[in-house]
Amino acid sequence: VMRRNPFGMDICCRKGSRSPLQELYNPTQVSLSNAAILHQIRRDQVTDTCRANSVSSRKRRVLTPNDLKHLVVDEDHEMIYCYVPKVACTNWKRVMMVLTGRGKYSDPMEIPANEAHVSSNLKTLNQYSIPEINHRLKNYMKFLFVREPFERLVSAYRNKFTQKYNTSFHKRYGTKIVRRQRKNATQEALRKGDDVKFEEFVAYLIDPHTQREEPFNEHWQTVYSLCHPCHIHYDLIGKYETLEEDSNYILQLAGVGNYLKFPTYAKSTRTTDEMTTEFFQNISSEHQTQLYEVYKLDFLMFNYSVPSYLKLE
């Protein structure tokens, strides 16, 4: 993934050099300026969507520390990353561990996936005092990665409900979904919750009762609700569809592009557009329409068009 550790302190602490934020808004390298224009367009799209849906004015609420638990802070490179499950977040957390580890890690792919999700391995913004939070939101480069909303949703469903090993999800959500959505469910299905159909999952998501009961799990929560892009000004919006270029651009801005490349690997199990189309074939147009309403802001904000396979009412 990268050359052996020329790392240590020279990569970690960039005092005296330009910050990623300076490099983004006043690029010194011509190669970085084209990408800067692309991200300006993406930022404008978010701003326009927030304004058009007057999300910020209707919800004049102040963010609480609890709203900031997805924002990972890298003090050494003055960056904040809002992680969104099912959008390469395991690999980005691995990279953040390399960046913040002061030479403890050099190859992201040597970090086991489960270790990347141990919360104590990364510092999140909600662990700071209010003045410290405000200072970092103002001065650090903030970025997130997004993905076509329904592809992300199908990816979450496949991972959490079709894999036998995810018993905690089957117990926590599967049993509830079966109980609420399946007529004549067997005792075993009610006990195990390990055979949830995609149609039942969708029915659960659009059920008003679900939304009143508790916030969505982070794996299917909207990006808008996880990262608060109408309240937090993100400098960079990376896309799953251009993951490698966007990720390596961020590492370049951080001044570590020579040492560290974003890990790439072809995953044959990856959820694709074709696969998503198939999953939606059995969903009624009424349910499709209701589900689109749930994720509509994510579609608009991050410039994803309405999927051609949808039969919206």
- Measured between alpha carbons, how far is 23 from 3 in angstroms, rounded to an integer? 24
pLDDT tens for each residue of 269-301: 788 899 999 999 999 999 999 999 999 999 999
Q: What DSSP character marks residue 174?
A: I
Band of pLDDT at residue 11, cut at 50, 70 and 90: very low
* Mean pLDDT, residues 50-75 taken together: 82
Helix (H, G, I), strand (E, B) or coil at 145: strand
The separation between CA 192 and the C-alpha centre of its own chain, rounded to angstroms, equals 29
CA angle 258, 260, 264 (to 5 degrees): 125
**Residue 10 pLDDT exceeds 50:** no
Best CA proximity match to 144, nearest among 70, 251, 33: 70
- Measured between alpha carbons, how far is 204 from 210 in angstroms, rounded to an integer? 7
* Residue where the block lists tokens 């018993």: 167
Residue that wins the pLDDT comparison between 30 and 198: 198
Q: What DSSP character marks residue 172?
A: I
From 12-16, 66-70, 76-80, 151-155, the region with the lowest mean pLDDT = 12-16
- pTM listed for this prediction: 0.91
Band of pLDDT at residue 32, cut at 50, 70 and 90: confident
pLDDT tens for each residue of 153-206: 999 999 999 999 999 999 999 999 999 999 999 999 999 999 999 999 999 999
Helix (H, G, I), strand (E, B) or coil at 146: strand
Structure tokens at 311: 């039969």
**Residue 64 pLDDT exceeds 50:** yes
CB-based contact 99:256 (threshold 8 Å): yes
CB-based contact 77:20 (threshold 8 Å): yes
- Measured between alpha carbons, how far is 264 from 270 in angstroms, rounded to an integer? 13
Q: Which residues neighbour 25 within 8 Å (Cβ) at sequence distance 6 or greater? A: 36, 235
* pLDDT at position 60: 58
**Residue 2 pLDDT exceeds 60:** no
Band of pLDDT at residue 28, cut at 50, 70 and 90: confident
**Residue 87 pLDDT exceeds 90:** yes
